[in-house]
Amino acid sequence: MTTILVDADACPVREEIYRVAARLDLPLVLVTNGARPVRPPPLPKARLVIVSEGADKADDWIADNATPQDVCITADILLAARCLEKGARVITHKGHEFTPQNIGTAVAGRELARHLREMGTGGGGPAPMAQADRSRFLSTLDRVLQAALRA
């Protein structure tokens, strides 16, 4: 069965995910290291997984539990790559879908940005969420979930 796995610590679209999970009656797992408060939604198929604090513990849990039927929601490019290796579908909170065809470029771009930041010439980070991002996210989430359910 398709499950929605959410890298929940910094996810700005949790409410949107809750609505879609409820509408489609899908299991939903929010994974957090507890650094930020995350309350599980009042949905019968939702659960909150709190992992131990530490770098990448939530990522490890998601990557270890992802299956080819699942849809993972994360902005973490390295976690996206790990989920794709397991056959899961992956989208960001701004509605960008990572695929086996584009993840290599994303990982390379991440490394380049890290290098530029270390040299002191990097940018100021991602742009804040806009309403257009939320709309794109919902559209992409619906499309990707429908594809996962058909598979």
Digit-coded pLDDT (tens) for 104-126: 777 676 566 666 667 777 666 66
Q: Is 4-150 a domain of CATH 3.30.1360?
A: no
Spatial distance between the Cα atoms of 118 and 139, rounded to a whole number of angstroms? 36
- Round the average pLDDT of the chain to a whole number and report it: 89
Q: What is the pLDDT of residue 93?
A: 95
- Count of CB atoms situated within 10 Å of the CB of 51: 16
Spatial distance between the Cα atoms of 123 and 120, rounded to a whole number of angstroms? 9
Spatial distance between the Cα atoms of 140 and 133, rounded to a whole number of angstroms? 10
Spatial distance between the Cα atoms of 151 and 147, rounded to a whole number of angstroms? 6
- Going by pLDDT thresholds of 50, 70 and 90, the confidence category of residue 35 is confident
Q: What is the pLDDT of residue 122?
A: 63
Q: What is the pLDDT of residue 15?
A: 92
Q: Which structure tokens are listed for 8? A: 């929940």
Q: What is the pLDDT of residue 19?
A: 95
Structure pTM? 0.88
Q: What is the pLDDT of residue 112?
A: 66
Q: Specify the amino acid at residue 68.
A: P
| DSSP per position, 44-74 | TTEEEEEPPSSTTHHHHHHHHH--TT-EEE-
Q: Which structure tokens are listed for 21? A: 């999970």
| Dihedral over alpha carbons 55, 17, 65, 24 (to 10 degrees) | 180
pLDDT-wise least confident of 30-34, 120-124, 132-136: 120-124
**Plot region of 80 (φ>0 → left; ψ -120 to 50 → alpha; else → beta):** alpha
Q: How far is CA 75 from the centre of its chain?
A: 6
Taking only the tens place, the pLDDT of each residue in 48-96 is: 999 987 768 999 999 999 999 999 999 999 999 999 999 999 999 999 9
Q: Please compute the mean of the pLDDT values over residues 141-151 and round it to a whole number.
A: 95
Q: Specify the amino acid at residue 58.
A: A
Q: What is the pLDDT of residue 115?
A: 60
